[in-house]
Structure 1
Amino acid sequence: MDTVMRHYRPLWEHHYAADVVSPHSDLSPYKVLVVPNAYLMDDEGVNAVTEFARDGGTVVMSFFSGVVDACNRVRPDGYPGAFRRLIGAKIDEYWPARPGERFTVEFTDGRTATADWWREDIHLETGTALATYADGLLAGRAAVVANDFGAGRVVYFATLLEQDAFDRVLIGELTAAGVDNRFDGLPAHLECAVREDERHEYLFLLNHDAEAPVAVPVGSGTDLLTGRSASGEITVPPLGAAVVRRARRA
């Protein structure tokens, strides 16, 4: 659960609506698929993730994915098993960190980040390094890999990056993929959701902060909790809520 939450946290804090789906679901409505350490995956799921990228989607995947099949049998042809062509790299060796060990990762733009717990000794094939290990025996080897696959793109994390660095990469991929975020720039403590019917959309706004109100641009609509018209923006009080009905966007 901790692993899933560290992938979900940046989506929540940056107000991206995320669905939790099986790889056997219809993935066609999505632009980005986040795969958190999917150690076990059957062939149907592997094919679905692969075709999602081939058809133009972006896949963000973390280490230790695709290692075994549905019967918990290690896949042949070395690590990462099912996803070697997808990530564009072969894992020569798993390289877990010692307890308490931390190491530095350097991105191609010069920024650095701390990582711990896990590393992989990666041999790039069609992929390129977004970040490399900056110290230790794996210095210079890829820590984060990007690979163009079909019409899509895959980003693979071969280590456990500190949360802020992971968030930055993930949000960058969502932005590049054109994922809609109508609540961009609002504080993380404001929970936002949108529901629609044939004519209207409904903005659900919950302020989880006990002290600070939040001003939210809403255009023109009606606050259904108060019955008042909303124009321009609405202020959600501390520990308060608002539900705004407005015309559905074209």
Structure 2
Amino acid sequence: MGGREECVYRSKLAEQAERYDDMVVWMQRVAEGDYEMTVEERNLLSVAYKNVIGTKRASWRIITGIEQKEIEKKSECGKQLGYIVDYRKKIEGELKSTCNKVLGVLKAILDKQQDSSIAGESKVFYYKMQGDYHRYLAEFAKGNERQEVAENSLASYKKAEEFAKALTSTHPIRLGLALNFSVFYFEILNSAELACTVAKSAFDDAIQELDSLNEESYKDSTLIMQLLRDNLTLWTADMPNQEDQEQRTDDADEPQEES
């Protein structure tokens, strides 16, 4: 078993053991190689980082909810709020570190592809992933930093969108891009209208080509289409109150994104 094959095997082993930090280590070694990653390898890379960042994002949401409730209580015990704020900042530091590591890996991969005739599908995958991790940074960044990462996320999603035009409207990667891009518009740019436009366009285009779906991608494509429809239902219900969108409560439903 060669070095590359060993890394992939160890990554799969780590995935089965649900040790995603270890999985990241092995897949990062594969990503740093001087060769194009296979579909399986790039999916393993995405799964590894998605699970690591997913846990941290969930922790951040919980702790910010606790912080907000403590602020609303207007408690005289400032120490408790201080502990919560410190803990939130610690989680944000971990989020930032993880996102920047992923973005560094993606930049290296995309730089290697600049002069290659690599398939558009692969470029959509990586630019979409780049947009996702800039979006995760935007979720907690403030001021100018938030504006910068939001702009980077938008640019990456738009780049992915350009290459996605070469894919069929029912392609899971194209649908996944539309799903996460629409979440970006809703969550980061606070625009239910743009979010609905992206999601509805992708859903409607895919519906027209549903009969041409091959058996291999049918399950993935229809699942993402369902998530698009779920979000459209949620967002269109919110649109009459769009001016209050930035004031959403902690109990508001979260939009679905690609896992």
- The structure with the greater share of residues assigned to strand is 1
Q: TM class by shorter-chain length?
A: under 0.3
Q: Pick the structure with greater CA Rg.
A: 1
The structure with the greater share of residues assigned to helix is 2
